[in-house]
Amino acid sequence: MNDENLFDTELFTHWADALAPVQPPAGLRDRIMARVRAEHPLTQLRTIRSAEGWMDFGPGIRFKILHRDETGRANSLLARLDAGVTLPPHLHAANEECLVLEGEITYDDITVWAGDYHFAPKGAAHPALTTRAGALIFLRSGMGEPVPEFSAAR
């Protein structure tokens, strides 16, 4: 430890590694979110500009959350996939709606073009999804949906 580093990183790492995970009480998240909604209800219109809110998710993948519907337990988001991106096969824990806004996405031998709609029901197995030219897609899916690992195969 030196004067610039007030914390002993090795000691804190040891303590953190020794901690046992704690399971929160059942329903805690729902109670917290109900309280937040009661104290801060969404009462105003909201606009998200095209350049705002983008987050890097992985190589060649950016997304932005447009809306979280706590009562319906769903997320609306945009995802931008660069050319050559591949999403691995995955299962859906909730229904997922997808509208391709720009470009194309392909799974198996089906290509979904700009303006096309794709629906994956809860429990469906999604094969690998790729985009040759890149894509901008709107997704609406259940909260808690597992997030697949992404790769940019270029």
| Confidence at residue 150, expressed as pLDDT on a 0 to 100 scale | 41
| Confidence at residue 100, expressed as pLDDT on a 0 to 100 scale | 97
| Confidence at residue 135, expressed as pLDDT on a 0 to 100 scale | 97
- Measured on CA atoms in the order 25, 69, 52, 133, is the torsion positive or negative? positive
> Which tens digits make up the pLDDT trace of 65-120?
888 876 767 889 999 999 999 988 888 888 899 999 999 999 989 999 999 999 99
C-beta of residue 124 within 8 angstroms of C-beta of residue 97 = no
> Which tens digits make up the pLDDT trace of 132-148?
999 999 999 886 544 44
| Confidence at residue 149, expressed as pLDDT on a 0 to 100 scale | 45
Which domains, and CATH codes, for the chain? Answer: 55-152 (2.60.120.10)
What one-character-per-residue DSSP string does 31-94 give?
HHHHHHHHHS---S-----TTSS-EEEETTEEEEEEEEETTTTEEEEEEEE-TTEEEPPEE-SS
pLDDT at residue 1 is higher than 80: no
Q: How far is CA 68 from CA 44, 73, 76, 151, in A?
A: 15, 7, 6, 26
| Confidence at residue 80, expressed as pLDDT on a 0 to 100 scale | 96
Residue 24, Cβ neighbours under 10 Å: how many? 8
Distance CA 29, CA 126 (A): 29
